[in-house]
Amino acid sequence: MDSILILDFGSQVTQLIARRVREARVYCEVVPFHRAAEGLERLRPRGIILSGGPASVTEAEAPALPPQVLEAGVPVLGICYGQQALVAALGGRVEQGHAREFGRAHVEVVASSPLLEGLWAPGSRHQVWMSHGDRVVALPEGFAVLARSEGAPFALIADEARRIYATQFHPEVVHTPDGARLIARFVHAICGAAGDWTMAGFRATKIADIRAQVGDGRVICGLSGGVDSAVAAVLIHEAIGERLTCVFVDHGLLRKGEAAEVVRLFRDHYNIPLVAVDAQARFLAALAGTTDPEAKRKAIGATFIDVFEEEAGRLGGADFLAQGTLYPDVIESVSFTGGPSVTIKSHHNVGGLPERMNLRLVEPLRELFKDEVRALGRELGLPDAFVGRHPFPGPGLAIRIPGEVTREDCDLLREADAIFIEEIRNAGLYDAIWQAFAVLLPVRTVGVMGDGRTYDRALALRAVTSVDGMTADCYPFDPAFLSAVATRIVNEVRGINRVVYDITSKPPGTIEWE
């Protein structure tokens, strides 16, 4: 299978480069720049893309271009900092102190190139997205200018003989309208990647990988009630059959009716061995008195591990623990560069297992984005009603209740959240929204209901549109819809007297919507 290696220099939108490459049906992986040698050895890629980053190549401690990039003999595309790192390594010059460009700009194409064939013609102008303070002021030997902007005379450059290309602008973001086509042109026309990466092919490859990893061993899979763990379980079951046992833990932090739905799907539809554990009291006890979000995550993760360890013992032992870890979990949880964007968040699925468990991890979805997991779920035959469900991270309601988590607050939030989702479905909006949920705020407000005053809780509603959860925009509900939802919640959920709608969007690099 052809692949592209993306070396990350710390940009907040590096994952969007991977999105564009995969949209061109070419497999790729993001690897920290300092692990270039390992990535090249493992993937044997058809080409390399260098991401942007927050550093300045003019500073002594700035990340340098790994020598293996030029030694690999494959085409290279440098983006923003990637361009500057290439130029500095090859003998050109990058300087600070020139006019900065942040936001939309226009480039003028000044020369033809195989990279631009059928895309941009000499003399044409095109909108791009710039985000740079430094800029290239002198090109290395062998390079020529393909396009320039007012603030970047070397906006797009190329050494055609060595198949090295570099842009000062960001083709991966949607604000560069032709950027996805430019990246596709690089991976197909320049790198020669076939563009044959499909979910059917991924399915077959992963099944073979699982069989090779597991051998004759036994696997327990932790079902959370979400799409990711469900798809992982079905894929592993297809690979090893009855040697997989799923463990579904009802931790008391699930959506209304979710526990029964998950058990029914796996016992009736797939006939996968399933153990359902009622651990509500145990999880709530572990969360008692805890208010810090990270401490909640750790408490929930530790309790999950304890439950899985006990169930593995009751099942007569297991060799592997399967999880529905996704690529965004890994990208956002791992320090790639040691720079300002080191770790966006910790994730309950990332970080390994305690040594005492003596279990190895199976994470078959680790290379996929959320929408790709949905596509794989459909490829595996999971019903659309399940595959299309809104994401529901493992910590569940615990991270939608700022402050201490109690059974009473969980019940309150569960009822309000169910009304919100029901009204979204009734309005035919569910599939147009990537994720919607309610948040029980840690404040009380004075209100008037009928002829009396109330002093009850406030509730926030969130709904966003997204492709993969890495970026998101708030959904533009009609005010009449929000008014109807708020009226139902206040009338039907005793203890809530005020409902607000959160219109915050999620730019790249912020914490996930939880």
Pick the catalytic residue from 28, 80, 221, 410.
Answer: 80
The half-sphere exposure of 241 on its side-chain side, counting CA atoms within 13 A, is 3
- Answer yes or no: are the C-beta atoms of 199 and 379 closer than 8 Å: yes
Rounded CA gap, 371 and 158, in Å? 34
Residues 6+ apart with CB under 8 A from 127: 104, 105, 106, 175, 176, 177
Q: From CA 218, how far away is CA 319, in angstroms rounded?
A: 5
Helix (H, G, I), strand (E, B) or coil at 445: strand
Nearest in space to 69 (alpha carbons), one of 185, 136, 162, 195: 162
Closest CA to 322 of 408, 190, 183, 218: 218
475: Cα within 13 Å, side-chain hemisphere: 20
Q: Residue 191 catalytic? A: no
| 269 classed as catalytic | no
Catalytic annotation present for 404? no
- Looking at the DSSP bridge assignments, the partners of residue 78 are 50, 166
Cα 10 to its chain centre, rounded Å, is 16
* Identified catalytic residue from 126, 132, 170, 348: 170
Cα–Cα distance between 371 and 75 in angstroms, integer? 29
Catalytic residue among 101, 132, 172, 251: 172
Active-site positions? 80, 170, 172
